[in-house]
Structure 1
Amino acid sequence: MRATERMTVTGSVQGVGFRPFVWRKAHALALAGQVRNRGDHVEVLATGTKAQRDSLMDALREGPPHAHVDSVTRTPDQRFFTGSFTIATSEAGALHSGIVPDLALCPACRADINTPGTRRWRYALTCCADCGPRFSIVTGFPYDRANTTMAPYTLCPACRAEYENPADRRFHAEPVACPACGPRLRYTGPATPGEDPLYSAARLLRSGGILAIKGTGGYHLACLATDTAAIATLRARKHRPTKPLAVMVADTAAASAFAAPSAAELHLLHDAAAPIVTVRTTAALPESLAPGLDRVGLMLAYTPLHALLLAQIGQPLVMTSGNRSGAPQVIEDAEALHDLAGIADGWLYHDRRIARRLDDSVCAIVAGHTMTLRRGRGLAPRRLPLPAGFETLPPVLAMGGDLKAAFCLTQNGQALLSHHLGDLQAQGVEETARQALADYRTLFGLTPALVAVDAHPDYISHRLGAALSQQMALPLHTVWHHHAHIAACMAEHGLGPDTAPVIGLALDGTGLGPDGTAWGCEALLCDYRTAYHAGRLARVPMPGADRAAREPWRMLLAHLDT
């Protein structure tokens, strides 16, 4: 007997081709009905036999490759559909479930840009439903082209046909474009008149120059990773004498000349998030890339622009954040031309605007498991599941610390952790944090019941949280620094909110303790609500005061001197 059910899908289901995925499955099952975005979820109305509807439910639980399905519910519906299955117009609404992060260049689009004679041969902004910018271009919801930074670009007839064809992999891929209708590649710097921007940029790099290149979430500064003099020039201009520099390669075959990634690291390098992955070096690269270390931060070309440039160069490139030392990564073109003058010799960019700053994510494989060292492009704003029991607790906005800052909202059993913001004391980062808070509140409908801050009253994050709690008329809760670290580990290991106390050892720089002193290595007996001090390493002076938190070697010397 044919009947209709409404199936509601929640999770990261926007911008991953979920609607065409449902359309194809429904057509294969001969179902009637429709699918649409409903702001914070995808709604499917399916008319067919129970066996047909059950099969569609199984498919929805899986979803397309880059979706993260949290739940699928089904309820009877009185409507009865006949004819074909269709894709209905999206509805507006805050995206409480979350959009997917930006996705690395997929194999099909890589083939497009490398195949002469195709419409997108050597087009640096090629993408489809399986790859390309997502979170970095969103300006509102639902996730449709009008609510992205692609809104100014009108689709040409050929792109329009792809965009409107549910059977095409570019169906409703919002950033879809081609050389005839999309953003254009530009180059500013020494060049031959009329020369292709990629050729000009490649020539600059080969000559030992420093190139500013526009990535997904901001600008990078690039130079040849094999050129010791160019690396020294970049370090001197950026005032970055020793901090490791990341290296980008076209593929893992190119990396094999100087690195030996494990099987797990290779898998992580090829992930759609395309993070920087720390891998062991073998030889061939200058020691100045990562002084004193036997590992280098490696990433694969994750945009068509990077892939085309690396193909032109044929060598690995240093790829580090495009900013002056301590300042946020540059995202605006005019800002890049101004702020990076004196560091970069040339600029390779395009006119698609970046909606929000997203530093590259950094990951490592530790004891066989992936450890996220910096959460940014490719990982944010993916939600993290919390242990069972948290879904019944009130939503909390937690402001974090001042170094490597991020904020987090816990709601409905999940944690929405912001992207990496930087060190709040650095120039411009506090304003970046304010903008990010406003951005997340608008996009995700953040409605916390209280605000949690570090107990240290002089932390910038404390002041930001206190101001926000007053503005929103919400209670303000202070949390001791080391207790917060242990509680985070408890959640990471699946301990519920009512778990028995644990013994936690927090070895973390400095943090204010309840006794008014700076704590360092502390043993606590605690659960999520309370913490009792059980012991510590011997107290020692902090050479340089707060500088000891940023330069841990100072504390090592202090302990050795006691």
Structure 2
Amino acid sequence: MPKEDHVALNIRVSGIVQGVGFRPFIHRLASRYRLAGYVRNMGGSEVEIRVEGNNSSISSFLKALLDEKPPPARLEEVLIEFTQPDNIEGFSILPSAKEAELYSMIPPDFSICDHCLAEIYDSNDRHYRYAFNSCAWCGPRFSMMRDVPYDREKTSMIEFKLCEDCEREYKDRENLRRFHAQGISCPNCGPKLWMEGSDGEKVESEDPVRDAARLLDEGKILAIRGLGGYHIACLATDDDVVRKLRERKRRPSKPFALMALNVEVAERYAVVSEMARNLLTSPERPIVLMPSKEGISELVAPGLDLIGIMLPYTALHHMLLSEVRDKILIMTSGNEHNKPMCTSVECARERLSPIVDYFLHHNREIVNRVDDSVVRLTGSRVTMLRRGRGYAPMWIRLPSTLSKPVIAFGAELQNAGAVAFKDKAVLTQFIGDTDELENLEFLDRMLKFFSNVYRIEPSEAIIVADMHKGYSSRRLAESWALAHGSSFIEVQHHHAHICSVMVEERVDPSRRVLGIAVDGLGMGDDGTLWGGEVMIASFSDYERVGHLRPQPMPGGDRATIYPVRMLIGILSTFMSDDEILDLLRRRDLLKGLPKGEREARISLAQARGSCPMISSLGRVLDAISSLLGICLERTYEGEPAMKLEAAARGSLLRMEPPEIRGSVIDTSEFIERLLGAEGRKEDLAYTSIYLLGYSLGELVSRYLNRSDYDSVFVSGGAAVNSILIKGIEDSLKEFKVKVKLNSMVPAGDGGIALGQVASMLWRDLDEIAN
């Protein structure tokens, strides 16, 4: 007969609880408190626990479960059910089960912990100089996962059978970091490094990391297979080396990411604030954009005042950085021009051989490509530019529950997709530009992967896509809906932007908010292109209550590449052809058009004839950037506006903000006044950005006078511009409202999928069915 105080609990725990040493942790706790039962992984990435024992021991167990969990673990739900004791003996870790009652997060990749780092530099440790050292608290997870639950046989580590030493650690319940840790290995049984020349010939090396560092110091360019893909590495302080990389990679001016050995090295080359330091050293280890100092080649980030630095997040990276002379390297994505980052040895050989001199390969398969995450500070707030390693695929909680699962396909450039169920949205890692076929296929593969993991049947889900019918991602969404007979809903681009911030701020779905969406372009529901919008929105609907003046966009997409075309379109609204051509000649702007004056005349004819109309803030900033001679050609997404912000290190001129006519901000009138303004280029750049932000705030303020709005929600690619946000905030000071920005997802199109998911909250079910 069981004792009177003998009780039993069934416990389900969700969150980040697989792949973080959680089952061994539970085993140790149960042993400490002499409890019987078991623990096992379940098919929804959750963990099931059964414990039996006296009341006092179980109470202590539950408290320790919450207080002492492994560092990377994250508990979202702990469901406890009292049940009848079975009088079982002992406590065991059972094989994983396929059933799923709760769902948990797939663990992201974790940066190397201090314990593993110490081991690789300890000559007496058997992990000494082991490039793949990891434990239950750190190392790859998502990048090597094929399926859930997180067990070794469902990862690329299945190829590496544990040696006797690793097997002993794996079975040792007293080994805090390696007991039942699925990804562990050592130099005897784990992945191996080797070097090749760009011709494919193997380079004999007893220590590939040291030899790679020597070659880098000699000015060579290397492709290095890392955690989520290949990097291309070279010296960051040598103009000739950086110039050679730019020529080979056909990347004329897009900034390169850097990797520094530690914060002290980063501080030699960048202004590292306390907030930036915390980001650099966080477990996520993102690339952090910071003001640059001297010492780094100006060719690393030409025309920009910020450089992106990350710290090493694997043993391989840390050893490499400790060996090179500068303790800092360019560490940029290993991809061919306009192609996704290589993950396989075969891809690297085929595509990177013309770019690099040598390869540093390893033989652990990268199952899921994961790019480095990128963050910056917008004023004093952290904003995300790219969500990848360290953050993806952690889910984001919705402020309400969805009526049906959702599969969202995002936008087009710098894209990410999402799946969502109940009150959770799971964004894919950064996908890239889906007008590139391989990235589109990657989006398709990752949405299938997440739909499978979270048991989402596409035929029972709502398929959501952008309103723009020309987007490849939308066409993919339509093909899914057709193949599965799914409901298909299109969501307006800028409404999705605002919804993404509303999710982060957990806005009640019954509320309406004031929002500003500022970006390059998105299809409006009137058939024109939008990008500078003021909206009153709920999750399920919106009203466009203000916007920038629609401007001619001569040549359509060509005007996004050559911003002088956009400038011509705006000038055509208040100047004659001869006046415009004279201005272009005097300011030497015809060189910004491949066909010179002939193209300018064609652009004028298009502007006065038939061409797309666009209300985009991004395109206005592009036009101003070209007008001031700062950037005449876009070679990467956002370049003209980014360089305008970088140049804007002057002071505010005595200019009035753009005039607001009705509900429209007149950007033509503003640029006409800007032409006659006197001041340094730096002052004009600062003034332009600030006053455009200020005018958006003024337009919003009209609705604050007659409502109880306490916040303004700002999103879109331009919402990371510190000067623009300052202008908006300054114009709203007297109203004491808060300006809310994205921080968990990119403000740009990488966050659109979250907004698309959120727009299904409280959506009329009859509308969805139809």
Worse-matched range after superposition: 167-176 or 91-100 = 91-100
SS of residue in 2 equivalent to 1:172:
coil
* Aligned counterpart, 2:9: 5
Match of 1:298 among 309, 313, 326: 309
Contact 1:20/1:171, CA 8 A, preserved across alignment: yes
- Deviates most, 360-369 or 453-462: 360-369
Indicate yes or no: 2:252 matched with 1:248: no
Q: Contact conserved, 1:96 with 1:445, CA < 8 A, in 2?
A: no
Alpha-carbon separation, structure 1, partners of 2:85 and 2:103: 27
The answer to whether 1:14 aligns with 2:53 is no
One-letter amino acid matched to 2:65: L
In structure 1, the residue matched to 2:122 is: 115
2:381 matched to 1:369?
yes
Which one of 70, 78, 83 corresponds to residue 76 of structure 2? 70
Give the corresponding residue for 1:352: 364
**Does structure 2 retain, via aligned residues, the 8 Å contact 1:503–1:526?**
yes
Q: Residues 2-39 of structure 1: CA distance to partner in whole angstroms, max 9, x if unpaired?
A: 21111110112110111111122222223222211122
Instruction: Please list every run of 5 or more consecutive structure 2 residues that lacks an aligned counterpart in the other structure.
Output: 567-618, 625-666, 673-770
1:233 alignment partner in structure 2? 244
**Equivalence for 2:29:** 25
The one-character-per-residue Cα deviations of 1:304-344 (angstroms, maximum 9, x if unpaired) are 11111111214200000000111000000111011101101
Larger Rg: 2
Which range moved further: 514-523 or 336-345?
Answer: 514-523
Given that 2:419 and 2:451 are in contact with CA atoms closer than 8 Å, whether structure 1 keeps it comes out as no
In the alignment, which residue of structure 2 is the partner of 1:184? 192
Cα pair 1:326 1:427 within 8 Å, conserved: no
The structure that is helix-richer by fraction is 2
CA-to-aligned-CA distance 1:112-135 (integer Å, 9 cap, x gap): 111113211111111111111100
Give the Cα separation in 1 of the matches to 2:417 and 2:193. Answer: 35
Could you tell me the TM-score, scaled by structure 1's length? 0.95
Alpha-carbon contact 1:93-1:142 (below 8 Å) kept: no
* AA at the equivalent of 1:183: P
C-alpha separation in 2, matches of 1:351 and 1:88: 30
CA contact 1:98–1:444 (8 Å) conserved in 2: no
Aligned to 1:464: 476
- What TM-score does the superposition give when structure 2 sets the normalisation length? 0.70
Amino acid at match of 2:64: A
CA distance in 2, matches of 1:488, 1:288: 35
Q: Which residue of 2 aligns with 1:403?
A: 413
Q: Partner residue of 1:519? A: 530
CA contact (8 A) 1:510 1:549 kept: no
Among 85, 89, 92, the residue aligned to 1:86: 92
- Counterpart contact for 1:22–1:60, Cα < 8 Å: yes
Q: Are the aligned partners of 1:362 and 1:374 in contact in 2 as well (CA < 8 Å)? A: yes
User: CA, structure 1 residues 548+102, in 2 after alignment: closer, same or farther (shift >3 Å)?
Assistant: farther
Report the alpha carbon displacement of residue 487 of structure 1 after superposing the two structures with TM: 1.6
Give distance in 2, aligned partners of 1:238 and 1:347.
16
CA drift of 1:203 comes to 2.1
Distance of 1:192 and 1:343 partners within structure 2: 18
Residue 338 of structure 1: SS of its match in structure 2? helix
Cα distance between partner residues in 2 of 1:61 and 1:193: 50
Aligned to 2:227: 216
Matched, 1:38 2:45: no
The whole-number CA distance in structure 2 between the counterparts of 1:327 and 1:11 is 34
Structure-2 separation of matches of 1:544 and 1:214: 41
For 1:84-483, list aligned pairs within 5 A: 84-93=90-99, 96-168=103-175, 169-189=177-197, 193-315=204-326, 316-387=328-399, 390-447=400-457, 449-483=461-495
Q: What is the letter of the counterpart of residue 180 of structure 1?
A: N
1:98 deviates by 2.1
Q: Which amino acid aligns with 1:222?
A: A
Shift in Å at residue 82 of structure 1? 5.0
Shift in Å at residue 59 of structure 1? 3.3
Shift in Å, 1:81: 4.1
2:242 is aligned with what amino acid? I
Distance 1:465 1:187, change over 3 A: same
What's the offset of the Cα at 1:468? 0.8
> Could you say what secondary structure the match of 1:151 adopts?
helix
2:520 to 509, 528, 531: 509
| Distance across 2 between alignment mates of 1:85 and 1:20 | 11
Q: Look up the SS of the partner of 1:465 in the other structure.
A: helix
Q: Which of 60, 66, 76 is residue 55 of structure 1 equivalent to?
A: 60
Q: Kindly report structure 1 stretches of 4+ aligned residues shifted beyond 6 Å.
A: 550-553
Equivalent residue runs for 1:529-544 within 5 Å? 529-544=540-555
- Distance in 1 separating the partners of 2:419 and 2:505: 19
Q: Percent identity?
A: 39
* Native 8 Å contact 1:139 1:149 kept in 2: yes
Letter in 2 for 1:479: V
Q: Which runs of 5+ in 1 are unaligned?
A: none
CA distance in 2, matches of 1:276, 1:25: 37
CA displacement 1:483-502 (0-9 Å, x = unmatched): 11122222222112222x22
Q: Secondary structure of the residue that 1:150 maps to in structure 2?
A: helix
Name 2:598's counterpart in structure 1.
none
Return the offset for 1:236.
1.0
The aligned residue for residue 589 of structure 2 is: none
Please list the CA deviations of residues 112-168 of structure 1 after superposition, one character each: whole Å capped at 9, or x if unmatched.
111113211111111111111100001122111111001111111000111122221
CA distance in 1, matches of 2:235, 2:277: 23
Identify if the C-alpha distance between structure 1 residues 551 and 135 changes in structure 2 by more than 3 Å, giving closer, same or farther. Answer: farther
SS at match of 2:269: coil
Amino acid in the other structure paired with 1:158? D
Label 1:423 to 1:194 Cα distance change in 2 as closer, same or farther (>3 A): closer
Closer/same/farther in 2, CA of residues 3 and 96 from structure 1, 3 Å limit: closer
Partners of 1:496 and 1:270 lie apart in 2 by 34
Q: Is the 8 A contact 1:126 1:304 kept in 2?
A: yes
CA distance in 1, matches of 2:417, 2:108: 17
Q: CA deviation at 1:365?
A: 3.2
Distance 1:152 1:49 in 2: 43
Partner amino acid for 2:80? R
CA distance in 2: counterparts of 1:454 and 1:91, whole angstroms: 38
Shift of the 21–42 alpha-carbon distance from structure 1 to 2, 3 Å rule, reads same
1:236/1:99 Cα in 2 relative to 1: closer, same or farther (>3 Å)? same
SS in 2 for 1:220: strand
CA distance in 2, matches of 1:320, 1:139: 26
Q: CA deviation at 1:280?
A: 2.2
CA contact (8 A) 2:238 2:297 kept: yes
RMSD: 2.0
Q: Is the 2:217–2:325 Cα contact (8 Å) retained in structure 1?
A: no
Corresponding residue pairs, total? 559
Change (3 A) 1:194 1:513: closer
C-alpha spacing 1:301/1:466, structure 2 compared with 1 (3 Å): same
Is the contact between residue 9 and residue 60 of structure 1 (CA under 8 Å) also seen in structure 2? no
